[in-house]
Amino acid sequence: MVTTKTIAKRPRGRPRALDRDEALETALRLFWRRGYEGTSIADLTEAMGVTPPSLYTVFGSKEQLYREALDRYGATYGSFAQRALAEEPSARRAVERILRGAIEVYAEGPAPAGCMLASGVVACAPEHASVAADVARRRLATIAAIKARFDRAASEGELAPSTDTQALASYYAAVVQGLSIQARDGVSRKVLDALADVALSAWPSSRADRPAPSP
């Protein structure tokens, strides 16, 4: 699925000069840094070292290439969230790992800064509405994944059964989205880490045993 398997006998015609995987990584980084509308076919083909027809033969269209780049982002740089949700023993620890992982990728990533999804297509021309809807869907899916982990935590007793898991998931997703913007704006890693500390202090069990005081 990732590459043309070397097992299959070489097909008939002229062999591919363009390495699909490598070209996709190149596209990912360009789209990540410049966004969908800010990246042109000329930018992409130049960075890949090919001419437009090759790109279109392999990827179909700019929009299809972008979606594949989003898939790849989710499977690589952006995979820290679902890995944390799947691997950590508690929802609380998963959230902490997500925030630290986000800072790691957003502030120290390969070249750009911020999240390709959170800081991807947000406002755009109406002719790109379907791309924007796709990106929005992926963002919402991340929130849903966090909520699912919180629901499990509620059923297991880690969180009170009355916990508003939807709100809590949206909340931590919002923090991650804010981290993405501020990482791009050049806010230092030290401040981002302290920001995450504050965000983690809102975890319900930290205050479950007493009512919130009114200032």
Q: Which of residues 20-59 bind DNA (CB under 7 A)?
A: 39-43, 50-54, 56-58
Q: Residue type at 1?
A: M
Q: Are 57 and 148 within 8 A, CB to CB?
A: no
Nearer to its own copies, 16 or 189 (CB): 189
Q: Are 116 and 70 within 8 A, CB to CB?
A: yes
The DSSP element (H or E) to which 52 belongs, if any, is: helix 52-59
| 93-98: long-range pairs with CB below 8 Å, 24+ | 94/149, 95/146, 95/172, 95/200, 95/203, 96/196, 96/200, 98/146, 98/172, 98/176
CB of 6 to DNA, least distance (A): 13
Residue 46 interacts with its own copies (CB under 8 A)?
no
| Residue 53 binds: one of DNA, its own copies, none (C-beta under 5 to 8 A by kind) | DNA
**How far apart are alpha carbons 79 and 215 in whole angstroms?**
40
Part of the chain binding its own copies (CB under 8 A), chosen from 4-12, 48-56, 62-70, 181-189: 181-189
Which parts of this chain interact with its own copies (CB under 8 A)? 32-35, 37-40, 90, 92-93, 112, 114, 118-120, 122-126, 128, 136, 139-140, 143, 158, 164, 166-168, 170-171, 173-179, 181-182, 184-187, 191-192, 194-195, 197-199, 201-203, 205-207, 212-213, 215
